[in-house]
Amino acid sequence: MTKIEILLRSSQTVFTVSDLAVLWQISERKKLWEVIKYYVRKKRLQKVYRGIYVIDPHYSPLELVVNLLPPAYISLETALGIHGINIQYQSDIHAISLTSKVITLPTGSRCVFHQVKDFILFDQTGLQQEKNFLLASPERAICDTFYLHPHFVFDNVHIVNTQKLLEVVTIYHNQSLKKRIEIFANSLEKGDH
């Protein structure tokens, strides 16, 4: 099996240099870079960002984003849009990470990373494992949004589970956020939204 066939059989659409080393079982860095450069020259691999490659131009942009600044997960406006909570189109892809940073890709797309404390990032409560990336559930995306943008307004909150919302908010260890979420959950239960 060729090295490209190995990548094609993988469920991934985006590969870091470390991914390539593992999948191709090449431990020597110099040899690994030679193989990568060879496949880039032959146009079998495409570099999309420093140290990140794809074989198919139809790769998952969400998978790319979480590989740009790991560890990261998709949240905020992007997750809210995916779940149908916000209906306004958002071209930027938003993710939660340990660092705040905006990365513009060669395609012109912007990846916006929002910093949270490490104990929040690493807590899996309210995160859904998608094919090759983590996505905030509706409740986690709402808590992340209120944590970073306290006065954010949501379009469609009918699918939000108030019990899950109250469970997720505990991971932030933030009393003002907890009060804000309790008020929000209370208004959901009364049908004020």
> Beta partners for 111?
93, 103
Q: pLDDT-derived band of residue 193, with 50, 70 and 90 as boundaries?
A: low
For the chain, the structural domain boundaries read 3-54, 62-190
165: which 2 tokens? Answer: 């919302």
Tell me if 15 sits within 8 A of 52, measured CB to CB. yes
Give the pLDDT score at 123: 98
Q: CA-CA-CA-CA torsion for 36, 38, 41, 44, nearest 10 degrees?
A: -70
CB atoms within 10 A of CB 116: 18
Q: Which stretch of DSSP H or E encloses residue 146? A: helix 138-148
Entry pTM: 0.92
Q: What is the pLDDT of residues 107-162, one digit of tens each?
A: 788 999 999 999 999 999 999 999 999 999 999 999 999 999 999 999 999 899 99
Give the pLDDT score at 192: 64
